[in-house]
Amino acid sequence: MEIVLSPTVKDVAREARVSVGTVSRVLARNETVNPGIRQRVEEVIARLGYRPSSLGRSLRLNKSDIIGLIIPDITNPFFAELAKHLETLASAAGYSVLLANTHDDPKAECKQVQSLLCRVPAGIVIAPVSGSLVGGILPDGLVSVTIDRPLTGHSLVAVDNFEGGRLAASHLLELGHRRIGYISGPTTTDVSIQRLNGFRGRVEEASSDRAQDLVQLTVLEGNFDYKSGEAIGRKLLQGNVGRRPTAIATANDQQAIGLLRASRDLGIRVPEDLSIVGFDDIPLASLVLPRLTTVRQPIEEIAEIAIRALLGSGPIVGPIALRPALVERDSTAPPPAC
Amino acid sequence: MEIVLSPTVKDVAREARVSVGTVSRVLARNETVNPGIRQRVEEVIARLGYRPSSLGRSLRLNKSDIIGLIIPDITNPFFAELAKHLETLASAAGYSVLLANTHDDPKAECKQVQSLLCRVPAGIVIAPVSGSLVGGILPDGLVSVTIDRPLTGHSLVAVDNFEGGRLAASHLLELGHRRIGYISGPTTTDVSIQRLNGFRGRVEEASSDRAQDLVQLTVLEGNFDYKSGEAIGRKLLQGNVGRRPTAIATANDQQAIGLLRASRDLGIRVPEDLSIVGFDDIPLASLVLPRLTTVRQPIEEIAEIAIRALLGSGPIVGPIALRPALVERDSTAPPPAC
């Protein structure tokens, strides 16, 4: 398929009876071009109404005004929000965003990044997959910002996931829950491990604080999606009222929404019989029934820091850990009396 | 900020003591280059390990392997799903997707499209805003696919929205509802008007069929988001049980999810007191409480047709209207007995 957005540099070259290279040199104001030829080329450019594309400019500067955004999944509302904020900020600065989904596959990620590098981006924003191989192929000098998930040797902008896990645990413990479940993300990803470790650490502190009132914690691993929350929720909620958890925390809001679904199907009322805490605070969290108590990530702030690093202040030195916040809504309450 | 992904075409030119234009001609296997110079340039290319970027290739062909995707809002799950499918298909064919959000603003849209055209895309996929000004600036010869919403003079790939509206109305009428509400999208967009006209037309047919059993229809206009569904839902559900609607249809699933929220807050049970029908069938529709009855759009099919048109079979001739389907779940039931 050949697309011609006429007139092209070739049309100019043909009309002016010079090579494409000569037209390029005229456009680049290269002094080596014979003045007579320069005048002829400029006349043809004016007559044909030729305008050099940004591709040509990019080639001359050896960079483009494209920002690459590499994320696991655009249908995860957290990444969709992030993409929207990044794109809005980039667009205001005259840059465009190239979107690449990696579907949490290191090989797909490598292919996407290689294809992106061929376009010589002004910079990239990446939320790497677990086991990412990308660290090895990013060229020196390319400004990149790693968000959400770390990449060895690159500085990370992310919420303090460990602290976020602690906040969720503290909230449930303060409400009086002692049989608690936790649905983690894939334990191959750092973000999952940090949230889980924060949560578990806070629960263990509480257990050692009060030996007579031991906290029982069941952890099951899932993916960061609705289905996983629903399926693992069902497993955690098997068994009778006296044995199953009275509260479950999840590693993201999508899992929590899937868990709400499972609870409803099993006839378990939220928050009367079961408290649920999510993570992220996607817009949907305040809309589902009941409204979700969750740990808020400052998505807009992450986008702003990333864009500033790419377009203004230069590479980020050292990791930036943003503060999470517990947002208390209607999905948590004290455990049932029994 | 200057990014250097060394070595560049300039490095090659300097090392080989020729102009950048000459290096370009060597790379393009242009026969006009002196064989001695050609050999020298090729040696330098091999020695430096220079690889031409796709920017250069794009310039020579005067097109890029970029596909532009211009949508109102990536945080709308319908567009996020569509973006995912398009990006997956494009990536498999060696193309990348440039994402642009227009926030339903014709001026923002024009700016985004102009910036995209500077990159000489292989084609664009656009869901135009209402009052779009883009029709005038798309160059002849650019392959573009209009999805979801029409653009004058361009062929549209979309679900049959009129038929979708009819399906929703038929379902509610067959369940026995006679006091019905409808939350439309912005009536400046064709997609909203089509869905509403289909719905209203079917209701009017039913009213004329049975003069003694008149159907009462209240239509309020909103935006395609959660908040709008919640706020307008509250308005429609004001008044006592005997006067308010026993069923409400919405122009998309996000509105329906907002409406579910409003119903819950007002103590109105779904589907016992109120039936709700959405539109789109986003993944969330089968997860909310209760699971949403909705009109399904074939999102994957829309993405496939768009990519085929851009990369394979050429421009679409005449509009393509895909069949919607009613997906019956738990948010609809016969009206309360009273």
Report the complex ipTM.
Answer: 0.71
Residues B71, B28, single domain; the answer is no
Q: What is the 3-state secondary structure (H, E, C) of chain B?
A: CCCCCCCCHHHHHHHHCCCHHHHHHHHCCCCCCCHHHHHHHHHHHHHHCCCCCHHHHHHHHCCCCEEEEEECCCCCHHHHHHHHHHHHHHHHCCCEEEEEECCCCHHHHHHHHHHHHCCCCCEEEECCCCCCCHHHCCCCCCCEEEECCCECCECEEEECHHHHHHHHHHHHHHCCCCEEEEEECCCCCHHHHHHHHHHHHHHHHHHHHCHHHCCEEEEEECCCCHHHHHHHHHHHCCCCCCCCCCEEEECCHHHHHHHHHHHHHCCCCCCCCCEEEEEECCHHHHCCCCCCEEEECCHHHHHHHHHHHHHHHCCCCCCEEECCEEECCCCCCCCCCC
Average pLDDT over residues A269-283: 97
* B306 within some domain: no
Average pLDDT over residues B51-71: 65
Question: According to the model, what pLDDT value does residue A279 have?
Answer: 98
pLDDT beyond 80 at A54: no
Residue A228 sits at φ, ψ, to 5 deg, of -60, -45
Half-sphere exposure of B21 (CA within 13 A, CB side): 17
Interface contact flag, B283 A9, Cβ < 8 Å: no
Highest mean pLDDT among B23-37, B50-64, B106-120: B106-120
Chain A residues inside the 8 Å CB shell of B261:
287-289
* B215 within some domain: yes
Residue B124 sits at φ, ψ, to 5 deg, of -130, 150
* B141 within some domain: yes
Residue B287 belongs to what domain range?
161-297+323-327
Residues A238, A187, single domain; the answer is yes
- CATH at B238: 3.40.50.2300
pLDDT beyond 60 at B183: yes
Q: Report the gap between the CA of B61 and the closest CA in chain A (Å).
A: 8
pLDDT beyond 90 at B152: no
Per-residue pLDDT band at A108 (split at 50, 70, 90): confident
Chain B residues inside the 8 Å CB shell of A62:
3-5, 8-10, 53
Question: According to the model, what pLDDT value does residue B105 have?
Answer: 85
Q: Regarding predicted confidence, which is higher, B113 or B32? A: B113
Per-residue pLDDT band at A111 (split at 50, 70, 90): confident
Task: Tell me the residues of chain B between 109 and 168 that have a Cβ less than 8 Å away from chain A.
Answer: 111-112, 115-120, 122-123, 139, 141-143
Tokens standing for residue A334: 């004290």
The verdict on A273 touching B (C-beta cutoff 8 Å) is no
Minimum Cα–Cα distance from A144: chain B residue: B3
Average pLDDT over residues A189-213: 87
Per-residue pLDDT band at B226 (split at 50, 70, 90): very high
Interface contact flag, A5 B120, Cβ < 8 Å: yes
Residues B193, B88, single domain; the answer is no
CA angle A280, A284, A289 (to 5 degrees): 115
Question: According to the model, what pLDDT value does residue A261 have?
Answer: 94
Residues A205, A131, single domain; the answer is no
Q: Report the gap between the CA of B32 and the closest CA in chain A (Å).
A: 10
Residues B38, B104, single domain; the answer is no
Question: According to the model, what pLDDT value does residue A220 have?
Answer: 97
Question: According to the model, what pLDDT value does residue B5 have?
Answer: 45
Per-residue pLDDT band at A270 (split at 50, 70, 90): very high
Residue finishing a domain among B108, B138, B154 = B154
Residues B194, B272, single domain; the answer is yes
Residue finishing a domain among A154, A179, A196 = A154
pLDDT beyond 80 at B213: no
pLDDT beyond 70 at A51: no
Question: According to the model, what pLDDT value does residue B107 have?
Answer: 85
Minimum Cα–Cα distance from B79: chain A residue: A75
pLDDT beyond 60 at A56: no
Minimum Cα–Cα distance from B22: chain A residue: A21
Rounded-to-integer distance, Cα B119 and Cα B124, Å: 11
* A3 within some domain: no
Dihedral angle at the C-alpha atoms of B2, B4, B8, B13, nearest 10 degrees?
Answer: 50
Q: Report the gap between the CA of A72 and the closest CA in chain B (Å).
A: 11
- CATH at A40: 1.10.260.40
Residues of chain A with pLDDT > 90: what percent?
A: 49
Residues B150, B165, single domain; the answer is no
* B181 within some domain: yes
CA angle A57, A60, A66 (to 5 degrees): 55
pLDDT beyond 90 at A285: yes
Residue finishing a domain among A123, A139, A154 = A154
Average pLDDT over residues A46-67: 62
Rounded-to-integer distance, Cα B18 and Cα A259, Å: 66
Residues B35, B121, single domain; the answer is no
Helix orientation angle between B20-27 and B54-61, rounded to the nearest 10 degrees: 80
Question: According to the model, what pLDDT value does residue A234 have?
Answer: 96
Return the bridge partners of B156, or none. B146
Q: Regarding predicted confidence, which is higher, B327 or B241? A: B327
Longest Cα separation, chain B:
95
Residues A45, A72, single domain; the answer is no
Q: Regarding predicted confidence, which is higher, A310 or A46? A: A310
**Residue reference for tokens 């050896």:** A62
Longest Cα separation, chain A:
96
The verdict on A278 touching B (C-beta cutoff 8 Å) is no
Question: According to the model, what pLDDT value does residue A63 have?
Answer: 57
Q: Give me the residue from A96, A143, A257 closest to B115, CB to CB.
A: A96
Minimum Cα–Cα distance from B25: chain A residue: A21
Q: Report the gap between the CA of B334 and the closest CA in chain A (Å).
A: 21
Nearest to B331 by CA among B257, B227, B265: B257
Q: Give me the residue from A5, A30, A80 closest to B75, CB to CB.
A: A80
Minimum Cα–Cα distance from A286: chain B residue: B261
Residues A173, A110, single domain; the answer is no
Question: According to the model, what pLDDT value does residue B28 have?
Answer: 63
Return the bridge partners of A320, or none. A157
Question: According to the model, what pLDDT value does residue A229 have?
Answer: 96
Question: According to the model, what pLDDT value does residue A3 have?
Answer: 32
Chain B residues inside the 8 Å CB shell of A61:
2
Question: According to the model, what pLDDT value does residue A324 have?
Answer: 97
* A318 within some domain: no
Nearest to B53 by CA among B3, B91, B101: B3
Per-residue pLDDT band at B2 (split at 50, 70, 90): very low
Residues A168, A270, single domain; the answer is yes
Task: Tell me the residues of chain A between 214 and 253 that have a Cβ less than 8 Å away from chain B.
Answer: 226, 230
Chain B residues inside the 8 Å CB shell of A97:
98-100
Question: According to the model, what pLDDT value does residue B223 have?
Answer: 93
User: Of the given ranges (A146-155, B83-92, B221-230), which has the lowest mean pLDDT?
Assistant: A146-155
* A87 within some domain: yes
Residues B283, B166, single domain; the answer is yes
The verdict on A264 touching B (C-beta cutoff 8 Å) is yes
Q: Report the gap between the CA of B90 and the closest CA in chain A (Å).
A: 10
Total domains in the fold of chain B: 3
* B165 within some domain: yes
Task: Kindly report, residue by residue over A287-329, the tens digit of the pLDDT.
Answer: 998 999 999 999 999 999 999 888 876 667 778 899 999 999 9
**Residue reference for tokens 């211009």:** B70
